[in-house]
Amino acid sequence: MVKSENKSDAIGILGGTFDPVHFGHLRSALEVCQQLSLNHVRLIPCAVPPHRQATMASAEVRRLMLELAVKSVEQLIVDDRELQRDGPSFTVDTLLSLREELPHTPLFLILGTDAFRGLASWSRWQQILPLAHIVVVQRPEETLDLPGELQNCYVHNLAQAADRQLLAGKIWPLTVTPLAISATQIRKDLVAGHPVNFLLPESVIAVIEQLGLYRSNVSIN
């Protein structure tokens, strides 16, 4: 396995709809960045989510909310490459693009436990580990309970400390601060007219209020 020459050049990758971005996304990304001593984490909003229904807010608005949310946090960067690409936003295509740009940089794909459990249903999922490490973000005392094929993959590729300089290929379970915040619940609260303070940045709330987002269950894409 190829190693990186520079321990500090590694980057994290956190994809999602970010509809809207909230403190659960941001805090997890920051803690992974700190625990693995990454240079930064790229937040990559998807254009067309392949495993869920269409987003409520447009791609441009979701990107704006992300940019405002991370404006003062230098370790978190917005990368809009999936918004520039036609078709479903498959993670493997994003990793291929990043690997072409960064052939000597360790890449760490950040997934929650639910996403990791469903990894075997993703497009070309077996190509992901050769392109990047996978960081499985867990809450304290949370168990994975993986299906057979994925359990074998997990056991055979579980990372050790010395693997930090590898470019890809290992699975890193990390425990982060448990913030039970859901974008789905935030949207429901907004439809119901409930306050969402302390769930997402005030700058994001300002955009939601200014544009009247999430006041109904109708997409504005």
pLDDT number for residue 220: 44
Q: In the structure, what pLDDT confidence band is assigned to residue 215 with cuts at 50, 70 and 90?
A: confident
Pick from 110, 155, 170: which is nearest to 136 by CA?
A: 110
pLDDT number for residue 1: 55
For the CA atoms of 140, 145, 149, 150, the dihedral, rounded to the nearest 10 degrees, stands at -20
Q: In the structure, what pLDDT confidence band is assigned to residue 191 with cuts at 50, 70 and 90?
A: very high
Q: For 91-141, what is each residue's pLDDT tens digit? A: 999 999 999 999 999 999 999 999 999 998 998 999 999 999 999 999 887
Q: How many CA within 13 A on the CB side of residue 7? A: 6
pLDDT > 90 fraction of the chain, expressed in percent and rounded: 76
Q: Quick one: DSSP state of residue 195?
A: -
81-84: long-range contacts at Cβ-Cβ below 8 A with a sequence spacing of 24 or more? 81/44, 82/15, 82/44, 82/45, 82/46, 82/47, 83/45, 83/46, 83/47, 83/59
For the chain, the domains span 8-179
Higher pLDDT, residue 146 or 167: 167
Could you tell me which residues are beta bridge partners of residue 42?
Answer: 13, 77
For the CA atoms of 182, 12, 80, 125, the dihedral, rounded to the nearest 10 degrees, stands at -80
Q: How many CA within 13 A on the CB side of residue 100? A: 6
Q: Under CATH, which architecture does the 8-179 domain have?
A: 3-Layer(aba) Sandwich (3.40)
pLDDT number for residue 86: 84
pLDDT number for residue 194: 94
Mean pLDDT, rounded, of the chain: 91
pLDDT number for residue 73: 96
Q: Quick one: DSSP state of residue 85?
A: S
Give the Å distances, CA to CA, from 44 to 15, 56, 77, 137, 144.
Answer: 5, 17, 9, 17, 25
Give CA–CA dist 211/184, Å, rounded: 18
Q: Cβ neighbours of residue 53 under 8 Å, at least 6 residues apart?
A: none
Q: Looking at residues 31-52, what average pLDDT do you find?
A: 92
**Lowest mean pLDDT, pick from 27-31, 138-142, 206-210:** 138-142
